[in-house]
Amino acid sequence: MTLIKKLLTVVGATILTLFCIWVGLVVLLRALMFSNPNPGSGMGLWVSRAFTVEEQVAEADLIVHVKVEKVHETRKLKQVAPRYTKDGKIDGQGVDIMPFTDSKVLVLKTYKGSTYKHVTIMQTGGMLPAKDGDPKMNLVTRSDPIYVEGSEHILFLTDISGDAIHSKGRTLYRTISPASRYDIQGEEVFNYFEYPESVSPPKTLDNLLNQIEKALNSK
């Protein structure tokens, strides 16, 4: 009987540990998937972890040099999601709100993919006024702040056209990873991604374009 009790104790402790891990993962995923109703900065949801130019060239559906013409009014996505207590327990359901902002850009040059005159690009984040009982929200994605009209960029994009939530019946793109947006300032380029120390991203437009061309020619 003593052996059985010990086995039951071990099994019980294992089940409890696995349950705690599961709860922790649920809380973490929820934090990544849904926004906080208070103004602040957050992480975007990305389709890829590619961060070198070579990796991004391989994965991108469209690589373009663009100029932002119009930043549209931020739109609101409301979703019903589990509501959690401070200790991670599910306490019914609540409504989560996530802002998204679409920008119309003029395509100055295409390096890979279909040729367009204009493309619409979706970003996670933006400013929502207090409306219809919902609180004011200003969400800024650290690695992809909302575009500014008149700014120019080199973008590595993925095609999300036909998405049931965001792009039903229209053509829509978004950057593939936090490193897929290069802002152009004169002859220099930069992005907001925190690279590993072992990686040195391109700092000039010529360097970036040379790396893109090299990666395209190596395919």
Could you read off the pLDDT tens digit of each residue along the chain, which spans 219 residues? 465 555 445 444 454 444 344 334 333 333 333 333 333 444 445 667 788 999 999 999 999 999 999 999 988 776 667 777 778 777 777 667 788 999 999 999 999 999 999 999 999 988 877 777 777 777 888 888 999 999 999 999 999 998 777 777 889 999 998 899 999 999 999 998 888 888 889 999 999 999 999 999 986
Q: Is 40 left (phi over 0), alpha (psi -120 to 50) or beta?
A: left
Smallest Cα–Cα separation from 97: which of 116, 79, 117? 79
The number of folded domains in the chain is 1
Domain presence at residue 99: yes
The CATH number of the domain holding residue 199 is 2.40.50.120
The answer as to whether 8 is a domain residue is no
Can you say whether the dihedral through the CA atoms of 210, 214, 215, 217 is positive or negative?
positive
Domain that holds residue 128: 34-217
Place of tokens 């973008």: 155
104 assigned to some structural domain: yes
Q: Which of 195, 181, 187, 194 is nearest to 147 (CA)?
A: 181
In a domain, 68, yes or no: yes
CB-side neighbour CA atoms (13 Å) of 137: 28
- Chain segment 97-149, per-residue pLDDT in tens: 788 999 999 999 999 999 999 999 999 988 877 777 777 777 888 888 999 99
Q: Is residue 160 part of a domain?
A: yes
